[in-house]
Structure 1
Amino acid sequence: MEPLEATTIFLAVCISCLLFLSAWKKMSGSGKLPPGPIAFPIIGNALQLNMKNLPQSVRELSEKYGPVFTIYLGSERVVVLYGQEAVKEALIDQGDEFSDRGRMPVFERLTDKKGIPMGNGKPWKQLRQFTLTTLRDFGMGKKSSEERILEEAHFLVERLKNTHRRPFDPTLFLTHAVANVICSIVFGDRFDYEDEKFVTLINLIMESRKIQRSPWTEEQHNRQSEFTTESLLRRTLDLFFAGTGTTSDTLKHGLKLLMKYPEIQEKVHEEIDCVIGRSRRPCIGDRTQMPYTDAVVHETQRFISLAPLGIPRAVTRDTCFREYIIPKGTTIFPVLQSVLYDSKEFPNPEQFNPGHFLDENGAFKKSDFFMPFSIGKRSCLGEALARMELFLLLTTVLQNFTLKPLIDHKDIDITPMTLTSNAPMSYQLIVIPR
């Protein structure tokens, strides 16, 4: 063997050993971690996890290790919280300790690890409070928001009428409508659906959604203040990205579910005709008089479990949780699907059934297990607006149209994607004016 070749092999072995030891040291952590499967240096638990259906892998591990356990995604330590008791205990009872954002490199690249979604510490708290106050000043969650949603619902109905019973993909229709609601709140006016700037904004939002579902990438660091012009512009985009994709995805799921179960769609039509009629437009005050429709909206959110693993958190310091010690900075997966699919609270959770939110008298029934917007200090800023949008837009569409699939309703596949986000699959439908 040539000296140069021998030296190269020796250096390669040394570097491999150093990387191995470094990864092993990081994975061993400190204190008493929750139990979990044996992890390998560098690759972690990659061989034991089905990355195409991580929620299923997590569920199977919870059956073996209990409601609190540890996995490794590569060398990244992740403590998983499974079930309502563990999630609530962490995010509510120990909310301060579990209030940091967990590492999500693809989002860090988009946001420079700042802003509402990815920020941490004092700057994040300041920005969150500033955003909440500003949005309230702009009318979010108030009567003015309702008027903006209803205005956009009118344009959505007109656009649907122009399909003239031809098949179409509802993705852009719903995305445009939801984005315009946020435009009207932030800018004080809506955009025409063909407006060049509006189309560019929508394309950015949709491209961002694709990137978010791609593999993790490399980080970027930016020590820039949160309140510069550039930073505030980025935070405005955060509102569009967060508020548009999730609500439009939920509506897209909802339309598909109503086509899958025409008997449920018929009951919603009957309640709309009884409470609202065909002539006046819906209002948010109708929701208390429409328990079945309200239950359908809630069941849609529960069933699709749009963020099955929850948005990752991280502990702000070495944290005692139950009988374990979780080291500072450890990523936390509060598995929301484990709460939304709790079989004791929601019998046969794999079935779409509005009865999960109705009592024996047909009245709407609230549930502490309903947390699609998460809970605690990192819960969704736009929850009130989203709830209003979902009810008003869905009710307005069903007041005016019957939804018809292009195939037999029994053959409609309602299985969502299950990597990290249950995004709806593309489909087409026909709307028949009522």
Structure 2
Amino acid sequence: MIIVLLLTTFLAVLIVRQYLKAKKLPPGPTSLPLIGNIHQLVYYIWRERGVVRAFTYFRKTYGDVFTLWFGPIPHVSICDYETSQEVFVKNGNKYKDRFLPPVFAHVSDNLGLVSANGEVWAEMRRFTLLAFRNMGVGRDLMEERILDELDARCAEIDADAVNGKTIVHTSDFFDLTVGSVINNTLVGKRFDAHNKQEFLELKALMESTADLFSIFDLSLPVWIMKTFFPNRYSRIIEVQQKVLNFVSREAMERYNKWKSGEYTVNSEDPQDFVEAYLAKMEQEEKNGESSLYTMECLKHVIGDLWFAGQDTTSTTLVSGFNQLVNHPEVMEKCKKELMRLTENGSRPLRLKDRAESQYLNAVIAEIQRHASILSVNFWRINHEPTVVKGYPVDSGSVITAQLGALHVNNDIFKNAHEFYPDRFIENEKLLNQVIPFGIGKRSCVGENIARSEMYLMIGNLILRYDIKAHGSLPSTDDKLPYSAGKLPDKTMKLEFVRL
């Protein structure tokens, strides 16, 4: 009897404490002690047939700002642009630290960009932005790198043409093109015939484990994964280590040559990111300072830049062409605009044309809105009590702009399920509300590279070729709706006919 009484009292205390904590947060489904809303989240993801649809249900039920408890930790989701802007831009210094998935924190050990916080993150972000700016990102130098790579791929397409037509596997094409641009930017080497297969094998490995990065894999403590899901844990660790080793291999080789005197860095005009980083290491060593610039940190920085810069951009381009071949009238309208801007295709489309390519800009925005790669955005840590859209948010909570749900918010984008680029011409303010690169202090450092690639690749391919699906039209549905990241139909092949 005493045991029952004690258990009942203990449970009552937990329920009351949970209720009092929930009162200090935006509304959401009723949570339970210890497990929070995990049981409801599982049910609604299953019922609504996907993570984004489940978040959309919660938004419609509880408003644009709502709370879900992942175990004992409350997670505040923001699904409208104005509130996201207020929280993460105007008050961005309060939310600089990320609440990291335990398995990411375990692998990174607070090194790099994506999975680092505090002084390490701040210094690496500052250095990366400066290095990119000095290397011409957003200017003519980066434009030339992208166009040179695209020209090389187009030459391969043209060489393989039969009766003027080439059949191209879209995913392989964009993976290799984007991967070569980012690899050249980071380590000074592009992908060509002699190393193409190795790159494609790595991509296949990454895609084979995409199903592992569910919202639950990213929430579970490492010890639980090791104990109860050892195979999943091993696969996640394996793929992350293989990617890190692959993308940092050139950097490690150059570092060893630099230390042995076989290689001298050009600190005045570094040709790639690794050279800029080694020059910084050399400067720190000369000054005798205790430095954050180590090779282990570089390994993680390159891994973050390569994975984010390659996979997200390539996936968005695949998703975009899935949409375009399903809407040939959009491509035709684009082509007319581009022919006018480039004197009937007598020159390539360039970044300077952006200001006058209103329709192409709208098409790219609609592609990014639909692609919206992250179903669940990275969480930020709230270190002090604050107010979000009139609701109190206690310290110790985590908070994020749920971009997947924001981009399909019908209150912002009318008939959000439709692929309709003209919405951005009818209301130009909507362009600012597509935020695929995140918002605030932790937005993507490679945003300018990705935007340049999207504009130059989509525009010049439409300008140079008549493009249509080879066989049946591709699906535009998300192939991994239950995962933390979206995956478009990557089985599609395109027919390219040179104009």
- TM-score of the pair, normalised by structure 1: 0.84
Matched ranges for 1:70-85 at <5 A: 70-85=67-82
Compare 290-299 and 66-75 and name the one that shifted more. 66-75
Q: State the one-letter code of the partner of 1:260.
A: N
Residue 320 of structure 1: how far off its partner (Å): 3.8
Task: Give the aligned CA root-mean-square deviation in angstroms.
Answer: 3.3
Whole-angstrom CA distance in 1 between matches of 2:61 and 2:370: 25
Q: Does 1:274 align with 2:266?
A: no
Whole-angstrom CA distance in 1 between matches of 2:110 and 2:188: 29
Identify the residue that residue 290 of structure 1 maps to in structure 2: 357
- The question of whether the paired residues in 2 share the 8 Å contact of 1:27 and 1:77 is answered with no
Whole-angstrom CA distance in 2 between matches of 1:160 and 1:47: 50
- The question of whether the paired residues in 2 share the 8 Å contact of 1:192 and 1:198 is answered with no
Identify the residue that residue 331 of structure 1 maps to in structure 2: 398
The structure richer in helix per residue is 2
Residue 167 of structure 1: how far off its partner (Å): 4.5
- The question of whether the paired residues in 2 share the 8 Å contact of 1:44 and 1:75 is answered with yes
Q: Does 1:371 align with 2:435?
A: yes
- 2:293 is matched with which residue: 227, 232, 255? 227
SS for the counterpart of 1:403 is: strand
Matched ranges for 1:286-365 at <5 A: 286-359=353-426
Residue 210 of structure 1: how far off its partner (Å): 5.8
Cα displacement string for residues 77-136 of structure 1 (whole angstroms, at most 9, x for unaligned residues): 211112122212211222122222123234324423432112122322122111111222
Gaps of 5+ in 2: 224-289
Whole-angstrom CA distance in 2 between matches of 1:41 and 1:97: 28
Compare 51-60 and 291-300 and name the one that shifted more. 51-60
- The question of whether the paired residues in 2 share the 8 Å contact of 1:180 and 1:190 is answered with yes
Identify the residue that residue 104 of structure 1 maps to in structure 2: 101
Distance verdict in 2 for CA 1:169–1:21, change over 3 Å: farther
Q: State the one-letter code of the partner of 1:83.
A: D
Distance verdict in 2 for CA 1:148–1:334, change over 3 Å: same
- The question of whether the paired residues in 2 share the 8 Å contact of 1:108 and 1:219 is answered with no
Q: State the one-letter code of the partner of 2:306.
A: F
Matched ranges for 1:195-206 at <5 A: 195=195, 198=199, 202=203, 206=207
- The question of whether the paired residues in 2 share the 8 Å contact of 1:115 and 1:226 is answered with no
Cα displacement string for residues 263-305 of structure 1 (whole angstroms, at most 9, x for unaligned residues): 1112222222232233422211122232212211111011222
Equivalent residues, number: 414
Residue 388 of structure 1: how far off its partner (Å): 0.6
Whole-angstrom CA distance in 2 between matches of 1:422 and 1:188: 30
Distance verdict in 2 for CA 1:104–1:47, change over 3 Å: same
Residue 308 of structure 1: how far off its partner (Å): 3.9
Compare 159-168 and 232-241 and name the one that shifted more. 159-168
Identify the residue that residue 59 of structure 2 maps to in structure 1: 62
SS for the counterpart of 1:47 is: helix
SS for the counterpart of 1:358 is: helix
Identify the residue that residue 186 of structure 1 maps to in structure 2: 186
Distance verdict in 2 for CA 1:371–1:63, change over 3 Å: same
Whole-angstrom CA distance in 1 between matches of 2:181 and 2:29: 46
Identify the residue that residue 153 of structure 2 maps to in structure 1: 156
Residue 345 of structure 1: how far off its partner (Å): 4.2
Distance verdict in 2 for CA 1:174–1:24, change over 3 Å: farther
Residue 45 of structure 1: how far off its partner (Å): 1.6
SS for the counterpart of 1:72 is: strand
Identify the residue that residue 4 of structure 1 maps to in structure 2: none
Whole-angstrom CA distance in 1 between matches of 2:12 and 2:110: 28
- The question of whether the paired residues in 2 share the 8 Å contact of 1:314 and 1:330 is answered with yes
Whole-angstrom CA distance in 2 between matches of 1:274 and 1:80: 44
Compare 301-310 and 160-169 and name the one that shifted more. 160-169
Q: State the one-letter code of the partner of 1:250.
A: T
Identify the residue that residue 447 of structure 2 maps to in structure 1: 383
- TM-score of the pair, normalised by structure 2: 0.74
- 1:138 is matched with which residue: 135, 140, 143? 135
Residue 203 of structure 1: how far off its partner (Å): 5.7
Residue 236 of structure 1: how far off its partner (Å): 1.0
Whole-angstrom CA distance in 2 between matches of 1:123 and 1:302: 32
Q: State the one-letter code of the partner of 2:436.
A: P
